[in-house]
Amino acid sequence: MSSNMVSIIRKKKAGEALTREEIAYVVRGATDRSLPDYQLAAWLMAVCWRGMDPRETTDLTLAMAHSGETVDLSGLDGVCVDKHSTGGVGDTTTLILTPLVAACGAPVAKMSGHALGHTGGTLDKLESIPGMGIALDRQAFIEQVRRIGCALVGQTDTLAPADKTLYALRDVTGTVDSLPLIASSIVSKKLASGAGAIVLDVKTGNGAMMQTEEESIELARRMVDIGRIAGKPMVAVITGMDEPLGSHVGNALEVKEAIDVLAGRVGGPLLEVSLVLGGLMLVAAGKAKNTEDARAGLKEALRSGAGLQKLREMIGAQGGDPRVADDPTLLPQAAHRVPVPALRAGVVARMDTVAIGYAAQSLGAGRVTKDDVIDPAVGLVMRVRIGDRVEAGQPLAVLHANDVDRVGAALEAMQRAVVIGEGPVEPPKLIRALVTAEGVTKEINRNPRQTHELHLTPTCGYGRK
């Protein structure tokens, strides 16, 4: 067994393509732990350096997707649709879209994860809702989607267990930033979770995993291509992460902002990205002829309160207090609010989005080690966006803190993260590209602060059962 793995490592180190059988051998060894970590780590490094062709990446994805249990959602009425983000700061779209898309008639069965690095975790946000449960067994998960149209829960240990093993090694061996490993990790879990169609939100910019638009598009193309080969309809949107998407960063704070969006009190980039992704989800589920009609349906669900009502139902079904949808003050509240003053007058020229995420983490909103306990109340609320003019002393953000000893470092980090310059600054583009099985569409967002449409009609299986 050992010599076989050595030959596989050598083959990939030489830049040769691995066979389906060789890839399956590695995945089995990662699943049953028959292969030692040092050999798996060596293989990951070889892949990181030498890459994988599309066929290899697809074989790895499918092998990991079937390395454990899979969820069968075929018994649900209609096409069950899922959405995945590659991770960002202030990105609360899952909490908005899960009930909003369900309110428009498309079933949403969503499995999410905890925080990773500087990005927030959907499960941590959900757990800030008093009483909210994130652990449902497979049958209860499916039954809830059948009954109310949506469920938002944690991924089980039996879902794509090979990926869990390999990702833990990637995290400590410097092999996270590999396109085939990223694509196979994301898509394997999505295939195992059983959705009929998947919409991907691939972030780009200084706060994203892929910091250039070209890298983000390539990642999206690889994932969409895997979906095509696997017979799973996928489409990806490239969205900007050069500044936080929403204004709230932190678990209960982001739940509050999601509620505010569903209640019609908040617009801006967070709402816009939600409408773009939600429109594609409804087209994928066959609930709209095109994204223009889908967008109109989503706006009506916001106007009528149907999206907010679906959130109440989902919270109540999972043991949480549905009153938070009407009174967000029932969410955990921090004891202290500390403004972050601008050190000079000028224009917000750029933001270090990763540093903003880590500033919220340093207040207790995330984990530095796996044993850390998250404080659901803390975080920060941005008061400016790139391109805004500010005066000296004007708040750039407001820190929400419980431990005053953590405030000083977070305040200084925020003042460094928000860079103030001279003269006018063009705000960063919000929607960068659309990636489908047919190709890449760019230049779809001329003005990031105004609404814009993505026109997509059902093709190549989209919108079909």
CA–CA gap between residue 243 and residue 425 (Å, rounded): 14
CA distance 214 to 187: 20
Catalytic residues: 84, 163, 170, 185, 189
Tokens representing 373 are 């306990």
Paired with 237 in beta bridges are: 201, 434
Other CB atoms within 10 Å distance of the CB of residue 93? 26
The CA distances from residue 340 to 14, 88, 185, 375, 409, in Å, are 52, 22, 38, 20, 11
Q: What share of the chain is helix, strand, coil (3-state, %, to 5)?
A: 45, 15, 40
Backbone angles phi, psi at 380, to 5 degrees: -155, 160
395-401/379-382 β-pairing: antiparallel
Contact partners, residue 19, CB within 8 Å, separation at least 6: none
User: Six-digit token pair at 58?
Assistant: 């697809």
Q: Are 358 and 207 in contact (CB under 8 A)?
A: no
C-alpha 214/C-alpha 216 separation (Å) is 5
Beta bridge partners of 69: 159
DSSP H helical segments within 305-447, as ranges?
306-317, 353-360, 407-417
31: left (phi over 0), alpha (psi -120 to 50) or beta: alpha
Separation between Cα atoms, residue 52 and residue 453, nearest integer Å: 35
Residues with Cβ within 8 Å of 404's Cβ and at least 6 positions away in sequence, in order, are 336
DSSP 345: -
Cα within 13 Å of Cα(295), Cβ side: 17
**Continuous segment of H or E residues that includes residue 218:** helix 213-230
**Residue 406 near residue 363 (C-beta atoms within 8 A):** yes
Task: Return the H-helix or E-strand segment holding 255.
Answer: helix 251-262
